[in-house]
Chains A and B, each alone.
Chain A
Amino acid sequence: MAKKSLQRYLAKIGKEFDVVLTEENYKEVILEEVESPPALLDYLRDYMEKNEPTLEWGCLMFLFIKADEEKYVPDIEMYYKLLARYPPNWFTEVGMAELQLRYYGNIFKARDGFFKGLELRPDNAHCHYNLGFIYHLLGVFNKSFEHYEKAVINHQTANKPKELKARSLYNLAVIKISVERDYEEVERHLKEALAAMPRYPEAKRALKQLRRWK
C-alpha cells in the first residue's frame, strides 16, 4: 500500500514538475525548493538529520511546498494531513497557521499554529510578527506589543529581515498611538522603521501626519 502511494507521488512530481526525486537527492531538492533564509535551511537540515525521514516524506513535503506556492487550499490541507504521521516541522505548521488566518479567518486556530511554530523554532521572528498581528486582531494589545517587540529583536531569522523589522516597528507605533497616545514613542518607532526600510510609504505618511499633530 505504502509503496503504491510512493510510486503515485513520484509519478505526480515527475509529470507535473519535471523533477525526479530519489533516496539520494530528495533532501537537497527540498532545501532548494524552500529557497529561504539560512536559518530556515539550517532548521530543515537539522530536522532531516534528527528525524531521518523517508523518500515518501520528501515527496509529500515537495508537494506541500508546491501547493503552498500556488496557494491551492485543498492540496495544502491534504498534504499537511498526510505529513502528520511524521514529526511536526516548522514549515508545514506555519503554512497551515497562515491558511487558518488568511483563508478561513480562524484567528484562534492560527494563534495556536504560530505558537506551535515557536515551539519548533524558538525566537522565530516570522511567528512573533504573526502573533503580534493576531493579538492586535484579538484586541489584546499588551501581548501584540510584546510579540512585535520580539519580532524586531529577532528580525534576522526572517525571510526579509529589514522589511519584517520595519513592519513590526510600524505596528508598534500604531499600538502606541491608539492605546497610549505616546507621541514621542510613536515618532521613535516610525523613524526606526524608516531606517530599516526607507521606502515605506505608510510609515512616511504617518510620520508626516504626526508632525502636523505635534
Chain B
Amino acid sequence: MRRGIASGDGESGTLQHFNFSFPTKESAEKVGLIQIECYLNIPATELNNRTPYEDVVRNKSATNFFNTFPVIKEAPLFEYYQQILSLSEKEFAYKSVYSKTGGVLNIFNLQIRESMDSELKTLFSRCEEEKEAIRLWKDRPSELWSNLPPKLVWAGGGKIERELILDFSQYLTRMVRRKEFDTRGDALITAIQHLRVWQFQPNEICSGMAPINAIIKEREEIYKRKSAFFKENHIECDFV
C-alpha cells in the first residue's frame, strides 16, 4: 500500500490535508482528481450560485473562476484543476466520459478507454444512426464504471461524494493498516473488496443512507442541473 497525501478545498477556501494508504500510485492520485471533480459541481455564492463548472462553460474559460478563488492557484493540486477545467468542445461529446474519474466507486479502475466499451460498440453496430446509439448507451448501467450509466459518470459527483471519498480513504487506511501484500493484484483486490463492503454500510455523511445510494442520488441531481443548464444556454451535448 502506498501512503499519500491529498488536499481538498474547504468551503472557506482553506486547504485540508489528510494522510491515507492506497494500493497504487494511480488510485492515490485519483483521490485528488475526484475531489476536484466534485468541487466543480458545488454551487458557490461567489459565482452567483453557479457551480465552477457552469462558470467555466459560460465564460468559455477558467480565468474568472481562478480569479474568484486565487487560493487554488497556490494549491498543490492546481495542475489538476487546470487539466480538468480545460473544457473544450470535446467535453460535450460522448467521448468525454472516458476522461472522467467515475468517482469513489471507481477509484481503483484503470483509465477506461473507448476501445474497452463493448456496449457502445454493439450499439454502434446495431443502430443506423450514431446519435441513436449514444442516446441508448448513455442511460445504460455500465460495468466499466461499477454499474453507473455513462451520463452519471459524465455528470460527476458533488458535496456528499466529496465527503465520502475522505471517509472511504480513512476507512481503507484503518482496514489495511500494517498489512503487507505480495503483489499489486493482491493489494488492489483487498482494497476493492473493502470498497464494496463500505459502499453498502449506512453512513452518517449521507444521513444514514448507504453511500452507493447517496452517490447515485446526488449524481442524478447534478445530471438534471447540468442538463437544464445546457438547454438554457443552447449548448448541444451528447449527454443531454
Contact = CB atoms under 8 A, between A and B. Distances in A.
A106 B116 CA distance: 13
A50 B157 CA distance: 54
B187 A143 contact: no
Interface string B114-127: 00100000000000
B203 to A, nearest CB: 14
A179 B201 CA distance: 10
B16 interface: no
A137 B143 contact: no
A178 B200 contact: yes
A143 B105 CA distance: 17
A153 interface: no
Contacts of A178: 196-197, 200
B101 interface: no
Given A139-B147, A139-B199, A140-B146, A105 B187 contact: yes
Interface residues of B, number: 23
Given A135-B143, A137-B193, A140-B143, A105 B200 contact: no
Contacts of B23: 105
Nearest to A181: B200
Interface in B135-173: 141, 143-144, 146-147
A66 interface: no
Nearest to B191: A105
Contacts of A143: 143
Nearest to B193: A137
B70 interface: no
Contacts of B183: 102-105
Contact of A108 (B116, B146, B200): B116
B5 interface: no
Given A105-B188, A139-B105, A179 B143 contact: no
A183 to B, nearest CB: 15
30 contacts: A100-B185, A101-B185, A102-B183, A102-B189, A103-B185, A104-B184, A104-B185, A105-B23, A105-B24, A105-B186, A105-B188, A106-B110, A106-B185, A107-B192, A108-B110, A108-B116, A136-B196, A137-B189, A137-B193, A137-B196, A138-B146, A138-B147, A139-B146, A139-B196, A139-B199, A140-B141, A140-B147, A141-B147, A178-B200, A179-B200
